[in-house]
Amino acid sequence: MLTSLYIKNYALIDELNVQFNNGLTIITGETGAGKSILLGGLSLVLGKRADLSQVKTKDKKCIIEASFDIANYNLKPLFSNLDIDYDVQTIIRREILPSGKSRAFINDTPATLDSLSMLSLHLIDIHSQHQTQQLTENDYQFRVIDALADNKENLEVYAQKRAEYKMLQKSLKALIDSKAELIKEYDYNLFLMNELSEIKLESINLEDLEAQYEQLNNVEVIGEKLASAKGILNMEDQGVIDQLNAIKQELNKISGFGKVYGAIAERVASVHIELNDLLVELDDLEDALSTDPQELERINSQLQILNNLFQKHSVSQIEDLISIKNELESKVSDTEGLDDAIKKKEEEITNLKKELNNIAGQISKKRKTILPILTQKLEGLLSDLGMPNAKFKIELTEGERFLLNGKDNLQFLFMANKGSSFNELKKSASGGELSRIMLAIKSILSEYIQLPSIMFDEIDTGVSGEISNKMGDIMKQMSTRMQVFAITHLPQIAAKGNSHFKVFKIDNNTTTETQLKRLGEDERVVEIAQMLGGMNITESAMAHAKQLLN
């Protein structure tokens, strides 16, 4: 509940500090006295954007501060989400600086206007004739029905499941789109992968393959050169080996004449042995030579394939081709595996859809249970408010789509008079009728849920006599469950208040100021008498005022 309001340097208000109680608080004052200024200041702490033109003295700071007792509002989770310290006595302050900038604080913590707006929804509802238009909106009608039907928990579960359902649908679409894209490339990727797989890249050593090709391609030249080399080594009398043997014999004859000659003789002997070994190896190589045109063709073909693949994929190493093959295998596998992924995702969606349908069914069932009660209560209250022939027809039909609050479609139909037909509220109810319907709905809601403080801003316009008395009774009854403010011009309603404030203007030498004063009992009699008969108060007006107050 709103416990206090402090306003400084705002519009026609120099400084104002007022305390409020629970129950029904009445605010009266002549037209133009400044009731709208009071509401404007309160709207600023509830998140409305500030305007420098609202500041009374431009070179001074404007301050509006409101205190709320929120002990029974269960708002700790909201404060936690907003990252603001929780206090059962919460203070919201707005400041408009001479520069035009504004600042907001919740319990001395800087806050954004979005934070103020989110919090204010749970603190106070300023209700004017203009706001009765929300009655004609489907969303608001659903909120009323669901509040009475106690659907809060079901709607929270439904919202969570619906969000999961939307995400799964999005994921499924992404998979289907991916499949469509991959299918376009699938055949080509499969061809490239098979082309690389057929050559068995892992078993190929390119250097060895190129060496084999050079050997087979040059077998005659190799044989010729090997034979020539052998001839040079082994030619009788003139060959290198025979000549080296002669050298060895000569040196052996002097090897005993000193170590140096012995060492030379040993080295020549070693070379002689090495040349003999080399001759044997050349024999082996010559014997191993063979002409194999088919093998040469096979190796040549394999090298040609490899060279083509190197050019096609712009690489030069076998290892690079193996990496490309592995990547292609992965793409082909992904494409082939998408069908399984899509099928699995579709099964998840089907299962979640069943859950959503079940929860939506529970929500709808509870709504349908409460509709006759809501209709009966509304028609009863409206009869008291001078609309005895008002009738409602509230119809729920299940649709196909998962909407934000279930699958129901709602028709909130109204008939004001006998003989007319049911029609939508916005087409069949006047502004005054909508005000009374809204009052009735708020009254019913207050029986089922903890509503924030509510301020009715002249919703009694155009109402008089016994109806205004009934309207006051409804507000009075509501105030036993919540804090209610009523800005009114009707004495019948003003007399119902637990406390009564008067808004008025005073003229100083150079300025006009708006003031707000709590009225004592005698002052209330005078104020209500003036509301009844004007500024010239008669004895009958005073008597009538006292009668209303009693």
CB 495 within 8 A of CB 531: no
**Can you give the residue ranges of every domain in the chain?**
1-123+452-519, 179-336
CB 4 within 8 A of CB 67: yes
Q: What angle do CA 131, 132, 138 make, to 5 degrees?
A: 100
Q: Domain 1-123+452-519 belongs to what architecture?
A: 3-Layer(aba) Sandwich (3.40)
User: Which H or E run contains 188?
Assistant: helix 152-198
CA 208/CA 221 separation, integer angstroms: 20
Closest CA to 424 of 371, 462, 416, 382: 416
Q: Copy the structure tokens of residue 82.
A: 């907003």
CA 74/CA 122 separation, integer angstroms: 10
**From the DSSP assignment, how many helices (H) and strands (E) are in the chain?**
17, 15
* pLDDT (tens place) for every residue of the chain, 550 residues total: 999 999 999 988 989 999 999 999 999 988 777 788 888 888 899 888 888 888 888 889 999 999 999 998 889 999 999 999 999 999 999 999 988 889 999 999 999 999 999 999 899 988 876 667 677 888 889 999 999 999 999 999 999 999 999 999 999 998 888 877 777 776 676 677 777 767 776 767 767 766 666 666 667 777 778 778 877 887 776 778 778 888 888 888 888 888 888 898 889 888 888 888 888 888 877 776 776 677 667 766 777 777 777 787 787 777 887 788 888 777 766 666 678 888 999 999 999 999 999 999 999 999 999 999 999 999 999 998 888 999 999 999 999 999 999 999 999 999 988 888 899 888 888 877 888 888 899 999 988 888 889 999 888 777 777 888 899 999 999 999 999 999 998 999 999 999 999 999 888 877 888 899 999 999 999 999 999 888 888 889 999 999 999 8
CA 460/CA 456 separation, integer angstroms: 9
Note the pLDDT of residue 160.
95
Alpha helix locations (H) across 454-500?
465-478, 491-494
User: Which H or E run contains 126?
Assistant: strand 124-128
Output DSSP code: residue 55: B
Give whole-number Cα distances, 409 to 149, 225, 362, 413, 424, in Å.
16, 99, 15, 13, 14
Say how many C-beta atoms besides its own lie within 10 A of residue 499's C-beta: 17
Evaluated on CA atoms 132, 137, 141, 142, the torsion sign reads: negative
What is the model's pTM? 0.69
Query: Residue for token digits 């709607």?
Result: 155
| Dihedrals phi, psi of 234, to nearest 5 degrees | -120, 10
CB 443 within 8 A of CB 112: no
The strand pair at 453-457 and 124-128 is best described as parallel
The strand pair at 62-69 and 89-96 is best described as antiparallel
Closest CA to 161 of 395, 397, 399, 361: 361
Say how many C-beta atoms besides its own lie within 10 A of residue 172's C-beta: 17
CA 206/CA 540 separation, integer angstroms: 120
Amino acid of residue 114: D
